Amino acid sequence: MYRYDEYDQKLVDERVAQFRDQTRRFLAGQLGEDEFRALRLRNGLYIQRFAPMLRIAIPYGLLSAAQMRMLAHIARKYDKGYGHFTTRQNIQFNWPKLPEVPDLLADLATVQMHAIQTSGNCIRNITADHLAGVANDELVDPRPYCELTRQWSSFHPEFNWLPRKFKFAFSASLNDRAATRVHDIGVHLVKNDAGELGYTIYVGGGLGRMPMLGHKIREFLPEVDLFSYLEAILRIYNLQGRRDNIHRARIKVLVKALGPEKFIELVEAEWAQIKDSYLKLLPQDIERMKGRFDVPAYVDETAADDGSYTAKLAADSKFAAWAKRNLRAHVRPGYAAVFVSLKANGVAPGDVTDAQMDALADLAEQYSFSELRATHDQNLVLADVARKDMYALWQRLSELGLATPNIGLLTDLICCPGLDFCSLANAGSIGVAQDIFDRFEDFDYQHDIGEIKLKMSGCMNGCGHHTVGHIGILGVDKSGEEWYQVTLGGSAENDAALGDRTGPSFSRADIAPAIEKIIQVYLEQRDGAEESFLHTYRRVGMGPFKARLYAKVSAETEVAA
Amino acid sequence: MSRLIRGNAVSADDWTELDDATAVPSTAKVIVSLARWRAERETLAAATAIGVRVDNSADIQTLWPELRDLPLVALEFPKSGDGRAFSQARLLREHCGYQGEIRAIGDVQRDHLQAMQRCGFDAFVPRDDQDLDDCLRALHEFDLAYQRAARDDLPLVWRLRRQA
Ligand code: SF4
pLDDT averaged per 10 residues, chain A (length 561): 97 97 94 92 80 91 98 96 92 91 97 96 96 95 98 97 97 93 96 97 92 96 98 98 94 97 98 96 96 95 97 97 96 97 92 97 98 96 98 98 96 89 87 92 90 94 93 94 96 92 95 96 95 96 96 52 36
| Helices within A379-505 (DSSP H only) | 390-399, 430-439, 443-449
Q: Which residues line ligand 1 (CB under 6 A)?
A: A 416-418, 422, 424-425, 457-459, 461-464
Residues of B in contact with A238 (CB under 8 A): 83-84, 86-87
Q: What is the DSSP letter of A377?
A: T
pLDDT at position A94: 86
Is the domain covering A414-560 a CATH 3.40.50.10800 domain?
A: no
Is A258 exposed, middle or buried, given 0-12, 13-18 or 19+ CB atoms closer than 10 A?
Answer: middle
The verdict on a CB contact (< 8 Å) between B161 and A278 is no
What's the Cα-to-Cα distance from A274 to each of A204, B60, B94, rounded to whole Å? 22, 16, 9
Q: Outline which parts of chain A fall under CATH 3.90.480.20.
A: 6-109, 301-400
Instruction: Please name which of B3, B1, B44 lies closest in space to residue B135, comparing C-alpha atoms.
Output: B3
Instruction: Please name which of B112, A246, A35 lies closest in space to residue B89, comparing C-alpha atoms.
Output: B112
What's the rounded Cα separation, in Å, for the pair A225 and A286? 11
| Facing B90 at nearest CB: one of A154, A158, A278 | A158
Give percent of chain A with pLDDT exceeding 90: 88
Angle at CA A181, nearest 5°, toward A175 and A187?
75
Best residue in A19, A30, A158 for a mutation probing chain B (most B CBs within 10 Å): A158
pLDDT at position A49: 55
Over 80: is that where the pLDDT of B47 sits?
Answer: no
pLDDT at position A424: 86
Closest ligand 1 atom to the C-alpha of A419? 3
Q: Among 2.130.10.10, 3.30.460.10, 3.90.480.20, 3.30.70.141, what is the CATH number of A301-400?
A: 3.90.480.20
Q: Does B111 touch chain A (CB under 8 A)?
A: yes
Q: What angle, rounded to 10 degrees, do the helices at A308-315 and A390-399 form? A: 50
Nearest CA to ligand 1 atom 2: A459
Q: Among 3.40.50.300, 3.60.20.10, 3.40.50.720, 3.30.413.10, what is the CATH number of A142-290?
A: 3.30.413.10
The verdict on a CB contact (< 8 Å) between A160 and B145 is no
Q: Among 3.40.640.10, 3.90.480.20, 3.60.21.70, 3.90.380.10, what is the CATH number of A6-109?
A: 3.90.480.20
Question: For chain B, what is the domain count?
Answer: 1
- Centre of ligand 1 from the C-alpha of residue A464, in Å: 7
CATH code for position B58: 3.40.50
Instruction: Please name which of A389, A400, A391 lies closest in space to residue A380, comparing C-alpha atoms.
Output: A400
Domain of B9? 3-163
| Facing A161 at nearest CB: one of B81, B88, B142 | B81
Q: Summarize the confidence of residues B139-146 as an average pLDDT.
A: 94
Has this prediction a pTM greater than 0.80?
A: yes
pLDDT per residue as tens digits for the range A355-377: 999 999 999 999 999 999 999 89
- Centre of ligand 1 from the C-alpha of residue A334, in Å: 41
